[in-house]
Amino acid sequence: MTEEPAGCDEESGRAALGGALRYLRGKAGKSLGQLAEETRYDKSYLYRLEVGQRLSKLAVMEDLDRYYGSQDLLVQLWKVARREVFKDKYKEFMRLEQTARIMYKFALGIPGLLQTEEVARALLSGNQETESEADQVEEQVIARLGRQQLLHRNPAPSARIIMDEYALRRPVADSEAWEAQLEHLIEMAELPMVTLQVLPLSAGAHHLMDGSMTLLWQEDGSAAAYTEGNRCSELMEDPTDVTRARLSYDRLRDLALPPSDSIAFIRGVLKEHRE
């Protein structure tokens, strides 16, 4: 008995695409194993596409449209799902971040996960233009502080964070708040599951100067990369793209100070601030 196509869920183009993939495979009388063998795509990868856990590259949908003889049905559904992913990419990134077992991060400024409440408020208030927007700023502060709880969950994720020295040379106006922020960075760097490295200005120009990068690995080994910069962002889940991002991160890590030297560096900046 063939599977019926899933109804188009207005809230999930990816689910509609997955439903179509399941329907076409069922109609063709193929098991996932047979489909994997005949298309040479990994069986687990095909499964994740069918249950809506992944969004493939366009070329994969073109291949499957040819395989099933479905004209451009899958391509058109993919385009809808892709627009949805772009719209909700940050929400999806947040979801993945909450369940990640390993995370690598690079930031030009102090990462939101390591900001104190006072510094978070000072940074977020920079976009405030009217007094009526104060409530929105407070909501953003609460949301940012809430994200930090993931570093304290049980089990806590293994987190490696590279922070540009630039972040340490741009204090907020409140001197006491900045001192507390530097002290907080040292405290966080001493947590067993957190590795903090400083990328010194002496390392010179580098390839991530225009934004930030986060790599996430889940319990099942699946990975994603998220980049932000120049008022745009991208969530990448394709293994090739994630591997490229990982290599990019590793090159930056090679330029950063070792963890122990990084803590000593932050202590030095704190000492300078107090003098």
87 or 174: whose pLDDT is higher? Answer: 174
Q: Is residue 5's pLDDT more than 60?
A: no
Percent of the chain at pLDDT > 70 equals 90
Q: Is residue 90's pLDDT more than 80?
A: no
**pTM, two decimal places:** 0.67
For 231, left (φ over 0), alpha (ψ -120 to 50), or beta? left
Q: Is residue 142's pLDDT more than 50?
A: yes
Beta-strand pair 158-164/102-107: parallel
Q: What is the DSSP string of 148-172?
A: GGGGGSSSPPEEEEEEEHHHHTS--
pLDDT mean over 61-84:
88
The CA–CA distances, whole Å, from 76 to 16, 48, 64, 118, 256 equal 11, 19, 12, 47, 44
pLDDT at residue 144, rounded to an integer: 86
pLDDT mean over 224-239:
86
Q: Is residue 136's pLDDT more than 50?
A: yes
DSSP state of 111: -
Q: Which residue is associated with the tokens 């530097």?
A: 182
Cis, bond preceding 157 (omega within 30 deg of 0): no
pLDDT at residue 2, rounded to an integer: 33
Instruction: Give residue 187's pLDDT band: very low, low, confident or very high (50, 70, 90).
Output: very high
Classify domain 100-114+153-274 by CATH number: 3.30.870
59 or 230: whose pLDDT is higher? Answer: 59
Average pLDDT of the chain to the nearest whole number: 88
Q: Is residue 260's pLDDT more than 60?
A: yes
pLDDT at residue 219, rounded to an integer: 94
Domain boundaries, the chain: 13-88, 100-114+153-274
Q: Is residue 115's pLDDT more than 90?
A: yes
CA-nearest of 157, 255, 166 to 215 is: 157
Q: Where are the beta strands (DSSP E) in the chain?
A: 102-107, 158-164, 194-199, 211-217, 223-229, 232-236
Q: Is residue 6's pLDDT more than 50?
A: no
Classified by CATH at the fold level, domain 13-88 comes out as 434 Repressor (Amino-terminal Domain) (1.10.260)
pLDDT at residue 220, rounded to an integer: 93
Chain centroid offset of residue 162 CA: 15
Burial class (CB in 10 A: 0-12, 13-18, 19+), 20: buried
pLDDT at residue 143, rounded to an integer: 79
171 or 84: whose pLDDT is higher? Answer: 171
pLDDT mean over 242-265:
96
pLDDT at residue 15, rounded to an integer: 87
Q: Is residue 84's pLDDT more than 70?
A: no
The amino acid at residue 39 is: T
Q: What is the rounded distance in angstroms from the CA atom of residue 224 to the CA atom of residue 213?
A: 11
Question: If residue 38 lies in a helix (H) or strand (E), which one and from where to where?
Answer: helix 32-39
Query: Phi and psi dihedrals of 46, rounded to 5?
Result: -65, -40
Percent of the chain at pLDDT > 90 equals 65
Q: Is residue 130's pLDDT more than 70?
A: no
Q: Which two tokens stand for residue 80?
A: 């809808």
pLDDT at residue 80, rounded to an integer: 81
131 or 209: whose pLDDT is higher? Answer: 209
Q: For residue 94, give every residue at least 6 positions away whose Cβ sits within 8 Å of its Cβ, in sequence order, or none.
A: 147
The CA–CA distances, whole Å, from 166 to 107, 108, 169 equal 10, 7, 5
pLDDT at residue 149, rounded to an integer: 84
